[in-house]
Amino acid sequence: MNKSGSEILTPKQQSQENIKDLESGQISQYSNSVYKWNVEKVLDWLNRKFPSQFDNWKETFIQNQITGEILLELTPECLSYLNITDSSLRDQFMLEIAIIKIRNEYDFIRRFKSQSSN
């Protein structure tokens, strides 16, 4: 736990969570067309990934209209502006963004490969 009361996952724990997501089909739910996510979908993702911080961050994400496209472009400096000031939370947030980018690219490649083989 960090000073904000949020559980910080080690890379190994995060990897195990990602494997669970893959096995349960969550990757498609949370990566498919991230660029098209509206604010509500981003809030859904935010609540799933950071449940202990969700109430603290929800209004800021709504006020700043953080869509999927914007989410993927966030930097640590942007997160500070959004009042995510705890460095360990910012690091975990950036890791989650990196994961979602990779998943989005994976889905794109998989769809492209599927279309080209037909």
CA distance 111 to 118: 11
pLDDT tens-digit map of 66-103:
999 999 999 999 999 999 999 999 999 999 999 998 88
For the chain, domain boundaries: 35-116
Q: Which residue has the tokens 């960090």?
A: 2
Task: Please give the full DSSP string across 26-61, using - where no structure is assigned.
Answer: HHHHHHTTGGG--HHHHHHHHHHH-TTTHHHHHHHH
pLDDT tens-digit map of 94-109:
999 999 988 888 877 8
pLDDT tens-digit map of 5-64:
545 555 455 545 655 655 454 444 444 588 899 999 999 999 999 999 999 999 999 999
- Cα separation of the two ends of the chain: 49
Residue 49: partners with Cβ closer than 8 Å, 6 or more residues away: 96
pLDDT at site 9: 53
- Domain boundaries 35-116, corresponding CATH code: 1.10.150.50
